[in-house]
Amino acid sequence: MKKIMLFIMTISLFALPLNGCRDSNELEDLALVMGIGVDLTEDEHPLVSLQVFLPQGSGQSGGSQSQSKGAGGANQSFIATESGQSIGDAVNKIAKRMSRRVYLSHNAVLIISERMANHRLREVIDYCQRTQEIRQRTLLFVTREDMPKILNYESVLEKTSSISLLKEEEKHLNLITTIRDVSLMKTGPNKPIAIPVIKLRRDSYDPREQVTKIIGSALFTDEQMVGMMNSERTLGILMMNGDFRNNTFTFKPKGRKGKLSVNVQDIRIRAVPTIDRGSWELSIHLSGKGMLQENTTTLNPMNPVDCRQIEKQTAKYLASMIGKGFKQSQCVGSDVYMTYEVFERSYPHECQRARAHWATVYPNIHLSVHPQIQLMHSGASNS
């Protein structure tokens, strides 16, 4: 025991001046980064904006020349912006002028401007994978808005805009892309990636505030943005990848007046790929459950015939939704549906041969969807 104590004592005594504690930082010496925005300047240099948390006790300390909206308000953050040769360089410049250490571990979102996304997504992904401080669960977004503006908008409910974005994602209504998802998707041929796109929108009834809204998802091929898919079609990607939880679809049944709102949940997918003499076919067997939420048509869900009708219409709607999205992705050649993996599992050799020229194979894949929706109940109403 004496030895332990002696050991502990000597180590402690020697270590204190030896600054073994180079890695230590007091909490009050950290500038907690809540969100990162990456934009491109006019002369093609990355422009990084960091949303830094402003502790309430601290008054004016922190970055001075930031476009702060003033402490003490509901918004507890300020934005620091700097451009540099690379993302790392820009972050380093911010760190130099900040009185505290820039700490990225609590960063929740990473917003990429469209200009950056168009050609230079690679740099962003590389920086994120290499920097140990950035978490794998960091959410990625693409936006067309002005970067500081979207980071700096004031959320009504949450402390910072980043947190409100984070919470919005937790609802699983939209595509979620984390850094790990990107590194997974990157492994496919052509490196197809899908990242949600957000937009700032003025709330029409509460003039104080703006809200961010996810308006769709950006599609990438070879780490270049090639197109955008709208919000509804994105749900098709979610369904195919098994990330779909539930959503209410509203549509007009064929040949009827009025509209149906059906909440679809518990979607299960079985994909059957076939390669038949050079023609690639993928048939999707989709089964799910539905709940009728609103019914302004004359169909009576309690009636077996009408009930089948509703189920069929819902299924058809879903099939067309998936089909349209798939078509669109084929047009831009971005395999965000991960069809390559599906084919590879059944036809490893053909796929390896096709891997090099996947860009030509993918647009010719024929997709057929066979949906099957079961209406579980139609609410508390008996009609």
- Residues in the site for another protein, rule: CB under 8 A? 1-5, 7-9, 11-12, 15-16, 18, 20-28, 30, 32, 34, 53, 55-58, 76, 103, 105-106, 108, 129, 132-133, 135-137, 159, 163, 170, 180, 183-184, 186-187, 242, 341, 344-346, 348-349, 352
Give the Cα separation of 211 and 199 in Å (integer): 8
Give the Cα separation of 97 and 40 in Å (integer): 21
Residue 269 or 375 having the CB closest to another protein: 269
Residue 249 or 347 having the CB closest to another protein: 347
Q: Are strands 279-295 and 139-143 parallel, antiparallel or unpaired?
A: unpaired
State which amino acid sits at residue 35.
G
Place of tokens 């349209």: 324
Residue 119 or 180 having the CB closest to another protein: 180
Q: How far is the CB of 368 from another protein (least distance, A)?
A: 21
Residue 344 CA: distances (Å) to CA of 184, 191, 274: 15, 15, 11
Residue 183 or 230 having the CB closest to another protein: 183
Q: How far is the CB of 150 from another protein (least distance, A)?
A: 20
Whether 87 contacts 113, CB under 8 Å: no
Residue 5 or 380 having the CB closest to another protein: 5
Q: How far is the CB of 325 from another protein (least distance, A)?
A: 21
Give the Cα separation of 88 and 55 in Å (integer): 25
Residue 289 or 355 having the CB closest to another protein: 355
Q: How far is the CB of 18 from another protein (least distance, A)?
A: 7
Q: How far is the CB of 86 from another protein (least distance, A)?
A: 19
Q: Are strands 101-103 and 30-40 parallel, antiparallel or unpaired?
A: parallel
Q: How far is the CB of 216 from another protein (least distance, A)?
A: 25
What is the secondary structure of 3-66 as a DSSP string?
HHHHHHHHHHHHHTTTTGGGG---GGGEEEEEEEEEEE-TTS-EEEEEEEE--GGGTT-S-SSS
